[in-house]
Chains A and B, each alone.
Chain A
């Protein structure tokens, strides 16, 4: 089976609240992690990435946290907006490998 998974398949948040999407991975040899956002009918869109030599990386309204001890990755979205509604996938790359392994995805819905 896939080595990357998510704790929750769906997440509903109030507009304006912060969202936290979690991802567990099992391969300690993975050295690169990436979050994608996929809106209905579109291809995955890059959000943010992080290498295994980092614990945290921030972008515009998004933060990725990496906990290598427990093999856990999270995506935090600040002040969630209706446009953030989508399916979010985490993916990992094993060191030296060319391919990404995707998690099952979390659907984020925003309540007005």
Chain B
């Protein structure tokens, strides 16, 4: 299984809502990533978890809160978002630090619209 799954595929939320994005992989990867991608732009890294610990936070606003409950799951909790946060949110995974492969496997993304 070389698949990263993400739910939901689409999400529309108001600025006062609280919602969560979910990501799952069963490749035994120990690093997981959240990216944000605006239209016609490359993915921008938000967070990296290595061995279930947050290792990189790219100065992301606190209205985005990541969580890694176990090595297969990654969540992104959303609260009080702004319309400019509307984007495609991508999850990725890789083998992890010290491992031979650096390739990141991406999920299909969650298309988020903030109204």
Which A residues have a C-beta under 8 Å from some C-beta of B?
A: 2, 32, 34, 36, 41-46, 49, 89, 93, 98-100, 102-105
Contact = CB atoms under 8 A, between A and B. Distances in A.
A42 B4 CA distance: 12
Give the bracket for the number of chain B residues in contact with chain A: 20 to 34
Interface stretch (B12-20, B43-51, B63-71, B76-84): B43-51
6 contacts: A42-B108, A43-B106, A46-B103, A49-B102, A98-B97, A99-B45
A42 B6 CA distance: 11
Contacts of A49: 102-103
B92 to A, nearest CB: 8
A32 B111 CA distance: 29
Given A44-B90, A98-B56, A99-B48, A104 B103 contact: no
A33 B97 CA distance: 16
